[in-house]
Amino acid sequence: MKSAPLLCLCLGAVLAGPAFAMYRCEAADGTISFQDKRCPEGSKEQTLGATAPPPLVSGPDDGQRAQQIRRNQEASTRALRKTQLESTLLPAARSALASHRQACEQELSALRAQREGTSGRFPGQRQTLDESLAAAQARCDRQGRELADRVETLRSECSALQCTAR
């Protein structure tokens, strides 16, 4: 039983070894031989086992084919990016910008209404609301610029790829 792992190891090594071809040769007189070289002329030859794979580069036009494959891959990548921009990325960025603007306007309106409601009663509270309003305005402006820049970047990329959605 201890020899079973050794047998498996040897069998694996044989199967994982290099592929080579064996030839079955049948001479004119009917004798059959097996060899690792091609059969002599006048013999019937049968290839057994694997043969060598064809060379990866077989001629001068292979470089041109490789370039064409590369160009096709690049065109496919550009087409995929164009589709992503048109269908998902640009609409999502525009929607995010519009949602941000709407949320900021609501927040700023609420702060302005609070500030107007406290006029004259609590001077410290009005100052706090003024500071909150200024901070909210600055934050909204900064985030709005970032989102608008993102939309513009995507729009420029889309334009370069000749998208239909601008």
Q: Residue ranges per domain, the chain? A: 78-160
Would the pLDDT of 10 be above 90?
A: no
More confident residue, 164 or 101: 101
How sure is the predictor about 14, in pLDDT bands with cuts at 50, 70 and 90? Answer: very low
Q: Would you say how long the chain is, in residues?
A: 166
The pair of three-digit structure tokens given for residue 131, joined into one six-digit string: 């500071």
Percentage of residues in the chain having pLDDT higher than 70: 76
Would the pLDDT of 11 be above 60?
A: no
Q: Write down the pTM of the prediction.
A: 0.56
CA atoms within 13 A on the CB side of 85: 23
Computed over every residue of the chain, the mean pLDDT equals 81
For residue 109, the model assigns a pLDDT of 92
How many other C-beta atoms lie within 10 A of the C-beta of residue 103? 12
The pair of three-digit structure tokens given for residue 24, joined into one six-digit string: 């079955």
Would the pLDDT of 42 be above 90?
A: no
